[in-house]
Amino acid sequence: MTSPEVLLFCAGLILSALFSGAETGLYCLNRIRLRYRAERGDRNAGRLQHLLRDITKTITAVLIGNNIANFMVTGVFTSYLEGTTLPHPEIAATIILAPLLFVFAETLPKNVFQQKADALAYPLEPMLTAIRYLFYPAVVMLSGLTALVRMAFDKTHHHGDALLTRQGLRFFFQESHGSLTPYLGQITENIMSLHRTTAGDSMIPMSQVTAIGIDDSGALLRDLIRSSWYSRLPVYEGSRTNVVGILNTYDYLYEGEHPGGIRHLVRPALLIERSTPIHHALRRMQSSRNLLAIVTDGRGRAVGIISLKDLLEEIVGELAEAR
């Protein structure tokens, strides 16, 4: 292999590694530090902010550069093998270069940039800016082709729809988890999985709930309130599956015994069907300002209760018990 060929081969390999690393590094770059540096007058940070405003086009330019670099490596190496006595130089080049490119121009740089994105992205800004402008016509053409394919195969596509699906967002966060703490990563995963969790999955079954009969005596009411420690208890009439409202125990303790019992203190209960996704249940509880809701089956019978705390725990994990 001549000196120019060696230089082209090494340059292609280095460029391929840099492009692969930059692809991951742009996602892992700490946006708060980036904004801070830009506000302090760092020109590289300012230009990186500009590149990230339309990250799709920037990544497209990076991928184009990566493909050109890989083509340079394979072309030079195949040309070199054609001058040897090896049979089928194209196949031999593929067998030799595939593991080399996978390790040193793909896996290794991606791992390094994932861990050191803030240290490595800023020095690469001039190169990224250059390829963004250099490959701009190709980027525009590919973006247009992508839009045409989407319109042709997705009849339900409308202008302004979200560009990322739930799976796409999950992949984005997995690729950039180096910029998130483990706790924030878990919260992100919980939020992405909310659509699979229903009120029935998060509820406390009625068999485990302290509930008050609407006609219970004063002594029994006081015993139930003392044993439960909770400030809001479901009230049923006849059967525990027939919940008629919620009693705020402070209202009862403040007013004391009443000839008419507790009927005048019982507040209407928010009913949520057990198959309701919890993000919809959370929205209903927020809009109605209810901290407790009754979970019902398809026939309107109470099967459990769910609190705002139960719904939040599906996102942030176990919370300290509020009595």
Task: Please give the pLDDT value at position 70.
Answer: 93
Q: Which of 216, 211, 220, 267 is nearest to 242 (CA)?
A: 211
Domains and CATH numbers, the chain: 3-156 (no CATH), 162-192 (no CATH), 199-316 (3.10.580.10)
Neighbour-count burial of 42, counting CB atoms closer than 10 A to its CB (0-12 exposed, 13-18 middle, 19+ buried): middle
The β-bridge partners of 204 are 305
Alpha helices in the chain (DSSP H): 3-28, 31-39, 43-53, 55-82, 89-102, 108-115, 117-120, 125-134, 136-153, 166-175, 182-192, 199-202, 218-228, 249-255, 278-288, 308-316
Which sign, positive or negative, has the C-alpha torsion 114, 116, 121, 127? negative
Name the pLDDT band for 131 (thresholds 50, 70, 90).
very high
**How far is 247 from 269, CA to CA, in rounded Å?**
9
27-79 confidence digits (pLDDT tens): 888 888 898 999 999 999 999 999 998 888 999 999 999 999 999 999 998 88
Per-residue buried b or exposed e for 43-66, using 16+ beta carbons within 10 Å of the residue's own CB = ebbbbbbebbeeeebbbbbbbbbb
The structure tokens listed for 316 are 């942030």
203-231 confidence digits (pLDDT tens): 999 988 888 888 887 788 888 888 877 78
259-313 confidence digits (pLDDT tens): 777 888 889 999 999 999 888 888 898 888 888 999 999 888 999 999 888 888 8
Q: Could you tell me if 245 and 267 are in contact, meaning their C-beta atoms sit under 8 angstroms apart? A: yes
The structure tokens listed for 70 are 């890989």
Q: What is the mean pLDDT of the chain?
A: 84
Task: Please give the pLDDT value at position 93.
Answer: 85
DSSP state of 154: -
164-201 confidence digits (pLDDT tens): 555 555 555 555 545 556 667 677 777 777 777 888 88
